[in-house]
Amino acid sequence: MLALFKPHGAPGLELADRPEPQPGDHEVKIRVLRTGICGTDLHIESWDAWAASTIKPPIIPGHEFYGEVVEVGRDVRDVQVGARVSGEGHIVCGICRNCRAGRRQMCIRTVSVGVNRDGAFAEYVVIPESNVWVHTDDVSPEVAAIFDPFGNAVHTALSFPLVGEDVLITGAGPIGLMSAAVARHIGARYIVVTDVSEPRLELARQMGADLTVNVAERRIVEAQRELGMREGFDVGFEMSGHPGALPEMIENLNHGGRVAMLGLPSAPIDVDWAKVVTHMLTIKGIYGREMYESWNAMSAMLQSSSELRGALSAVITDRFPAREWEAGFAAAREAHGGKVVLDWSEV
């Protein structure tokens, strides 16, 4: 099969012939039709310090995907050949304390598709049946391909009650954009989104943001005044990883404010911990998706809301045939649009 392949530890990927994977007894083989490009994939392609310390080539990256089941192992019980599916990218052990307590997203032995084992930038991918998510007919192939990052947005947004609350989202990347759409769907009052990219802030307005703030030009407190807010934001989603984002968010929270933090910091963050204590703030780290409540919530929300389906479609701003993967990676690296999707159906 053709696959985007990293043969050794150096910058770059190559579209190369690789052995076609075969499913084990409890595994499912999927013909890949669409893939999303994630920031993790950009790290692997550029071979930065994180990739060099984490990835063990040779490997096929890619973990955001949609495809058709073409073969199942002999012990697979529920997933059928012909099903249209995506996959949870975290494969867990099932026997550590968290797994046994139903907190599989906190497994201490997690193996990641496209990071620790071959992934979905290929004609075929194999994953355990327990990681397969079967889609309903009303989910488009492109939206299904970004269920992984959509799950991150849903996990973040559902961390705290949002109905009638004022929400601050720092970072209008694809996951931040999707979290704004989810917050609007759930019933937040005011939603403010920050970034330094005007095209992404325009996308945030399409997602339902009441106000956007280019933090290269003005401060969040001005948005509070413009909206007539008197006591600060109730909930914050920190999606950017910028070292200045969390401190400014804390400065703009109400007493008892809550923060769901998904963005991975790009440098150490200087937090006013005295304010965290005296204002009784809650900061919660978010990683991946709740397995599998986030997936259930995603499917249910999309089935019940054509507006949310439309918002997710609008997040996908760039589409390329898989053979033009270099152009797709370049578009993703520019970080001015939304999600980039590669089409593998013609490979």
What does the buried/exposed string (b/e) look like for 164-180 if buried means 16 or more CB atoms within 10 Å of the residue's CB?
A: ebbbbbbbbbbbbbbbb
Pairing label, strands 27-36, 124-128: antiparallel
Q: Tell me the CATH number for domain 160-285.
A: 3.40.50.720
pLDDT, one tens digit per residue, over 277-318 is 999 999 999 999 999 999 999 999 999 999 999 999 999 999
Which two tokens mark 38? Answer: 């994630």
Of 8, 35, 40, 282, catalytic: 40
pLDDT, one tens digit per residue, over 24-44 is 999 999 999 999 999 999 999
Beta-carbon contacts of 260 under 8 Å, excluding residues fewer than 6 positions away, are 156, 157, 159, 160, 235, 236, 237, 238, 284, 286
Q: What is the pLDDT of residue 7?
A: 97
Of 8, 26, 35, 43, catalytic: 43
User: pLDDT band at 221, cuts 50/70/90?
Assistant: very high
User: pLDDT band at 208, cuts 50/70/90?
Assistant: very high
Average pLDDT of the chain is 97
The pLDDT > 90 percentage for the chain reads 98
Residue 323: is its pLDDT beyond 90?
A: yes
Beta-carbon contacts of 25 under 8 Å, excluding residues fewer than 6 positions away, are 73, 74, 75, 76
CA–CA separation, 234 and 252 (whole Å): 9
Tell me whether the omega of the peptide bond preceding residue 292 falls within 30 degrees of 0, making it cis: yes
* Dihedral sign for Cα atoms in the order 56, 59, 64, 70: negative
Q: What is the pLDDT of residue 347?
A: 86
Residues of the chain with CATH 3.40.50.720: 160-285
User: pLDDT band at 102, cuts 50/70/90?
Assistant: very high
User: pLDDT band at 144, cuts 50/70/90?
Assistant: very high
pLDDT, one tens digit per residue, over 152-183 is 999 999 999 999 999 999 999 999 999 999 99
Q: Is 135 a catalytic residue?
A: no
CATH topology of domain 2-150+289-343: Quinone Oxidoreductase; Chain A, domain 1 (3.90.180)
pTM attached to this predicted model: 0.95
Compute CA 99 distance to the chain's CA centroid, rounded to the nearest angstrom: 22
DSSP 276-341: HHHTT-EEEE--S--TTHHHHHHHHHHHH-HHHHHHHHHHEEEEEEGGGHHHHHHHHHH-SSSEEE
pLDDT, one tens digit per residue, over 37-65 is 999 999 999 999 999 999 999 999 999 99
Q: How large is the average pLDDT for residues 119-147?
A: 97
Q: What angle (nearest 5°) sits at the alpha carbon of residue 184, between those of residues 234 and 38?
A: 95
pLDDT, one tens digit per residue, over 233-272 is 999 999 999 999 999 999 999 999 999 999 999 899 999 9
Q: What is the pLDDT of residue 252?
A: 98
Burial (CB count within 10 angstroms: exposed 0-12, middle 13-18, buried 19+), residue 10: exposed
Q: What is the pLDDT of residue 74?
A: 97
Q: Is 40 a catalytic residue?
A: yes
